[in-house]
A = this chain, B = another copy of it.
Amino acid sequence: MEVTESIKQSVTREFKEETGLVLQDPQLRGAFTVIIEEQGKVVDEWMMFTFYCEEFSGQLLEHSEEGKLEWVPMNAYSDLPMAPGDYHIFDHILESNQLIYGTFTYTEDFTLISIDLDPPRP
């Protein structure tokens, strides 16, 4: 986030920079605390916000600083590489429009140590 942005302005700006697409009314659907632990000590922490959006304008870039970009079918996310906790975010957000809250604890190399989600995993 840039310093004076709201989280909605931030996701809109960053999505545009990284994909070329302009989101129309992204909706906050997840608010998470991410903890990095090594040997039982917290070495880093941040917040992560997940937005849902169905409408946009613009054309998808083929490449950005984030890498190669492509559309994938909704049900293909479980085969994509991502931090292990992120699959649970997709599981929830594609099934429910209820906000999900939670904490993910990882090692520094993103091995998942624990997940605490509300609503909990089915």
Residue of B nearest to A45 (CB): B3
A8: chain B residues within 8 A (beta carbon): 31, 101, 118
Cross-chain contact B101 with A7 (CB below 8 angstroms) = yes
What's the least CB distance linking A97 to chain B, in Å?
Answer: 12
A interface size (C-beta, 8 A) = 25
What's the least CB distance linking A85 to chain B, in Å?
Answer: 13
A60 interfacial by beta-carbon distance below 8 Å = no
A103: chain B residues within 8 A (beta carbon): 4-6, 9
Cross-chain contact B116 with A28 (CB below 8 angstroms) = no
Cross-chain contact A3 with B101 (CB below 8 angstroms) = no
Cross-chain contact B105 with A35 (CB below 8 angstroms) = no
A37-80 contact mask (Cβ, 8 Å, vs B): 1 or 0? 00000100101010000000000000000000000000000000
A3: chain B residues within 8 A (beta carbon): 33, 35, 42, 45
Contacts A6-B118, A116-B6 given; does A1 touch B33 at CB 8 Å: yes
A9: chain B residues within 8 A (beta carbon): 101, 103, 118
A49 CA to B82 CA, complexed, in Å: 28
A6 CA to B9 CA, complexed, in Å: 22
